[in-house]
Amino acid sequence: MSTTPLLKVENLKKYFPVKKGMFGKTVGYVKAVDDVSFFVNEGETLGIVGESGCGKSTTGRVLMRLLEPTDGQIEFDGKDLASLSQEEMRKTRRDIQMVFQDPYASLNPRHTIGKILEEPLIVHGVSDAKERKKKVREFLEIVGLNAYHAKRYPHQFSGGQRQRIGIARALMTNPKLIIADEPVSALDVSIQAQVLNLMQDLQKEFNLTYIFIAHDLGVVRHISDRVAVMYLGKMVEVADSEQLYGKPLHPYTQALLSAVPVPDPDYQKEQIIIEGDIPNPADPPTGCTFHTRCPFKMDICTKVTPQLAEQTNGHSVACHLYTTQVDNDIKQLEGSL
Amino acid sequence: MNERNKILDVKDLQTTFFTDSGKVPAVDHIDFHLRDGEILGIVGESGCGKSVTSLSIMGLVPSPPGKITGGEIVYNGRNLIGLSEKEMRQIRGNDIAMIFQEPMTSLNPLFTIGNQMVEAILIHEKGWSKKQAQERAVEMLKLVGLPRADSLLKDYPHQLSGGMRQRVMIAMALVCNPKVLIADEPTTALDVTIQAQILKLMKDLNVRLGTAILLITHDLGVVAETCERVVVMYAGQIIEEAPTKLIFEDPQHPYTKGLIQSVPDMRVKKERLHSIPGNVPKPGSITSGCRFAARCEFAFERCFQENPELYETADVHQTRCFLYDEGRVKSDVHNAFIKS
């Protein structure tokens, strides 16, 4: 595994305007992704976890420019995706493909599997029909289906098989990066394991880089080399998956990990149950957005937004508990009051 | 612990759906019981019949096409099958209550929380005044840990978060002090931090009020943390039943084993996940032999010809698998468990 970043995201923002009244006046913004920076190395898997509304899916869509970023840079393979024209971006999508959550909704029910898989090749200019058909058959076999499945329609497949088709479709253009948004959460446990194993095999075989977006912390740990945790549009912690799961620093990550039920009745864990709900993203708390639920809340947390800062090698956290600058900040704050 | 009264006893239950393409035995001769104050888990993947089982108990199987075609559901000595709709309505809510996966679809969006709770209370407590009912509603909302219970009565369902709505559903379900609460995937639609809150609440209420809970879920983690005993279902049948501790320490049925190994563990990173080959069968697609045989790595000839019965591999452990025929397995784990 090399360590050159294939994708480098800086200060990415996606704000959705909240409109009101007859003339649609913008009265505020939902900061779905708010100043997020990260990188993904070639050949690795970056997991992005978080609860509903944290901005993980929006991040994935903005990277693909399925949603236009409000601000920020997305450097992929030497190009800034955020500043490409629509046409240039369309061509670049050959290298970045996406796998979606719902295998029932993301395959056109009126098209045969063959047609669905051929489509990306047509879009990206493979004009030889024979070659396209050959590739369809080849990739069906690669994802564990059979060449004769090309003649069938999506409803003739089970959920797990459909997700295999979704993965095959993403692979058709030989992409470098695959963004998988909750690819296994609609599947039964026994099928989920099959699809995860398939994704790992394909990664090795085609030297793929994955961004794996999911809410299931067990699944993310299994597949990811590094993991980023998001809360209300911000990245609160990023680390090697061993580090993050072994020694989580952010109080939110700690609570999140302790909340996951472990399939082992003998496992004694310290359960931190955090009170309250996720705040409304249209009206997030001031300062650190987690302070309304945080057991270690300090004065500064309600006033100053903590920045993501590296603690140990590759382990970054956005929390005032770890800011050596806390004292200075407080003094500064007191001075300004 | 075996002497506890069986509050709910399901005997040889069969629920069949009569569809255009033929009879589908969604629940296929199942037997289990729920004891006083116990939390029993029913675990299985989609289409295994776990939800149909719970709907059968409540007399809520959509009919047509569904129908209970055999067996008994004995609640407190009384068979619920064959009761009139009026009698059944007396049982629901008063004796057995149910909560569902998606609380939003179980609450009427046009009425306030107060309206809906008071209505439910007045149906069961005929002599009560509206004011009494309101007081009871507030008391219940406090019981399930909702803040500002008074003003919550005036809120509409859409004003609450998913976790709060599920708490409201639990409050409504427990309003008449039922002996049994059936919870069908109560936390599946919730985020993990909220799931932890709701599971803790259910465990607390189980201890405080003594309500027996039948928890239906697909999540083995939830089972391990909440249930005392587990029933594993596959393709409409019970394939294993044991105390939770034994199911995880010494799973016997190849399906149960495979299922447990398929779950990615958050504590240690496995190189590769164990996976069960093949697909989850559609209800009614396999009707002979062992239902799991086609996906089983240990399957032999007999498995494809006969359906195994539930073999008692220990006093408290039953497995539907020919590997355990002639009672040949009684492991050390079992002996240790039974002694303790």
Per-residue pLDDT, A326: 55
Name the CATH topology of A5-95+173-278: Rossmann fold (3.40.50)
Q: Is the pLDDT of residue A325 over 60?
A: no
Q: Which residue has the higher pLDDT, B126 or A121?
A: A121
CA distance A299 to B35: 50
Is-contact A96 A174, C-beta < 8 A? no
Residues 186-205 of A with CB under 8 A from B: 188-194, 196-197, 200
Chain B stretch 33-92, residues whose beta carbon is closer than 8 A to a beta carbon of chain A: 45-46
Question: Six-digit token pair at B289?
Answer: 């032999």
* Average pLDDT of the residues in B157-168: 89
Nearest to A191 among B163, B164, B279 (CB): B279
* Coil, helix or strand at residue B264: coil
Q: State the best of B188, B191, B229, B234 to mutate against chain A, taking most chain A CBs within 10 Å.
A: B191
What count of CB pairs under 8 Å joins A to B?
128
pLDDT of residue B71: 92
* ipTM of the modeled complex: 0.83
Task: List, for residues B275-319, the tens digit of each pLDDT value.
Answer: 899 888 888 888 889 999 999 988 888 899 999 999 888 888 999
Contacts of A110 (CB under 8 A, 6+ apart): A153
- Is the pLDDT at B117 greater than 50? The verdict is yes
Nearest-CA distance from B63 to chain A in Å?
A: 26
The three-class DSSP label of residue A229 is strand
Q: With beta carbons under 8 A apart, name residues in chain B contacting A197.
A: 272-273, 275
Residue B76: Cβ within 10 Å count: 15
Tokens coding A303: 């006033």
**Phi/psi at B164 (nearest 5 deg)?**
-65, -40
Tell me which residues of chain B, numbers 217 to 256, contact chain A at a CB-CB cutoff of 8 Å.
218-226, 244-245, 248-249
Tell me if A137 sits within 8 A of A147, measured CB to CB: yes
Predicted pLDDT at A1:
47
By the CB < 8 Å criterion, does B276 face chain A? yes
Res A138: pLDDT: 93
A282 has a chain B CB within 8 A of its CB: no
Measure the CA angle with vertex B337, ends B336 and B340; round to 5°: 90
Spatial distance between the Cα atoms of A175 and A180, rounded to a whole number of angstroms: 13
Nearest to A224 by CA among B263, B269, B219: B269
| A273/B224 touch (CB, cutoff 8 Å), yes or no | no
Is residue B169 within a helix (H) or strand (E), and if so which, with residue range? helix B162-173
**A220 closest CA partner among A188, A260, A255, A250:** A260
Cα dihedral B70, B76, B82, B88 sign: negative
Task: Give the pairing of strands B180-184 and B212-217.
Answer: parallel
Domain boundaries defined on chain B: 250-340
pLDDT number for residue A52:
85
Q: Nearest 5°: CA angle at B66, between B65 and B69?
A: 130
Inter-chain CB proximity B244 and A265 less than 8 Å: yes
Q: Who among B197, B218, B244 is closest to A189 (CB)?
A: B218
pLDDT tens-digit map of B233-274: 999 999 999 999 999 999 999 999 999 999 988 887 778 888
The 3-state DSSP class for residue B262 equals: helix
CB contact at 8 A, A136 and A106 = no
Looking at residue B230, its pLDDT comes to 96
pLDDT in tens, A104-139: 788 999 999 999 999 999 998 888 899 999 999 999
Give the Cβ contact number of residue B220 at 10 Å.
Answer: 25
pLDDT value at residue A211: 97
| Chain A residues close to B274, C-beta within 8 Å | 193
End-to-end CA distance of chain A: 51
Helix (H) or strand (E) holding A73: strand A71-76
Q: Which residues have a Cβ under 8 Å from the Cβ of B200 and sit 6 or more positions away?
A: A273
Answer yes or no: are the C-beta atoms of B46 and B219 closer than 8 Å: no
Task: Name the residue with higher pLDDT: B287 or B202.
Answer: B202
Average pLDDT over residues A33-39: 94
Of residues A202 and A328, the one with the higher pLDDT is A202
Q: Can you give the pLDDT at residue A283?
A: 86
Is residue A269 scored above 80 in pLDDT? no
Residue B193 near chain A (CB below 8 Å): yes
Q: Which long-range contacts (CB under 8 A, 24 or more apart) does A218-221 make?
A: A218/A260, A218/B221, A218/B263, A218/B264, A218/B265, A218/B266, A219/A184, A219/A192, A219/B264, A220/A47, A220/A49, A221/A47, A221/A245, A221/B264, A221/B266, A221/B269
Position A158 scores a pLDDT of 87
Confidence of residue B332 (pLDDT cuts 50, 70, 90): low
Gap between the Cα atoms of A311 and B283, Å rounded? 53
Work out the pLDDT band at B334, boundaries 50, 70, 90. low
Lowest mean pLDDT among A8-17, A240-249, B121-130, B228-237: B121-130
At residue A265 the predicted structure's pLDDT band, cuts being 50, 70 and 90, is confident
Q: Is B158 at the interface with chain A, CB within 8 A?
A: no
Task: Tell me: pLDDT of B191 over 90.
Answer: no
Spans of all domains in chain A: 5-95+173-278
- Check CB contact under 8 Å for A262 and B274: no
Query: When comparing pLDDT for B287 and B209, which is higher?
Result: B209
pLDDT at B62 over 80: yes
Closest CA–CA distance from residue A161 to any residue of chain B (Å): 8
At B64, the pLDDT band (50, 70, 90 cuts) reads confident
CB of B209 less than 8 A from some CB of A: no
**B335 touching A, CB under 8 A?**
no
pLDDT value of residue A264: 87
d(CA B185, CA B245): 21
Average pLDDT over residues B135-150: 89
* Closest residue in B to A271 (Cα–Cα): B196
Number of C-beta neighbours around residue B315 at 10 A: 11
pTM: 0.87
DSSP string across B103-140: HHHHS-TTS-HHHHHHHHHHHH-TT--HHHHHHHHHHH
Residue A171 structure tokens:
């692979």
Query: Which contacts of B251-255 are long-range, i.e. CB under 8 A and separated by 24 or more positions?
Result: B252/B313, B252/B317, B252/B319, B252/B321, B252/B323, B252/B324, B252/B329, B253/B292, B253/B319, B253/B320, B253/B321, B254/B292, B254/B296, B254/B297, B254/B298, B254/B321, B254/B323, B255/B292, B255/B295, B255/B296
Interface membership of A242 toward B (CB under 8 Å): yes
3-state helix/strand/coil string of A165-224: HHHHHHHCCCCCEEEEECCCCCCCHHHHHHHHHHHHHHHHHHCCEEEEEECCHHHHHHHC
B245, B262, B272 member nearest A265 (Cβ): B245
Q: Are A42 and A2 in contact (CB under 8 A)?
A: yes
- The encoded tokens of residue A96 equal 């970045």
pLDDT tens profile B2-54? 568 899 999 999 999 998 888 899 999 999 999 999 999 999 998 899 999 99
Lowest-confidence range among A41-50, A217-226, A279-288? A279-288
Is pLDDT of A292 > 80? yes
Distance (Å, rounded) from C-alpha A203 to C-alpha A175? 11
Q: Are A192 and A213 in contact (CB under 8 A)?
A: no
Q: Which of A200, A256, A266 sits opposite B193 (nearest CB)?
A: A256
Given CB atoms, is B200 within the 8 Å cutoff of chain A?
yes
Better pLDDT: B63 or B205: B205
Q: For chain B, what is the largest distance between any 2 Cα atoms, rounded to a whole number of angstroms?
A: 68
Q: What is the structure's pLDDT at B241?
A: 95
* Of the listed ranges A64-78, A207-221, A319-333, the one predicted with least confidence: A319-333
Torsion of CA B136, B138, B141, B142, to 10 degrees: -110
pLDDT at res. B329: 52
3-state secondary structure of B100: coil
Cα-based distances in Å from A85 to A160, A332, B288: 36, 44, 60
Q: Which residues contact B96 (CB under 8 A, 6 or more apart)?
A: B8, B57, B58, B75, B178, B179, B180, B181, B182
The backbone torsions φ and ψ at residue A303, rounded to the nearest 5 degrees and listed phi first, read -115, -40
Cα(A54)–Cα(A231) distance, integer angstroms: 5
Determine, for residues A190 and B223 on separate chains, whether the beta-carbon distance falls below 8 Å.
no
Q: What is the mean pLDDT of residues B147-154?
A: 87
Phi, psi at residue A79, to the nearest 5°? -110, 150
Residue B171 clears pLDDT 70, i.e. is over it: yes
Phi, psi of B135 (to 5 degrees): -60, -40
pLDDT tens-digit readout, A10-27:
999 999 998 888 888 888
A319 pLDDT tier (thresholds 50, 70, 90): very high
CB distance A189 to B275 below 8 Å: no
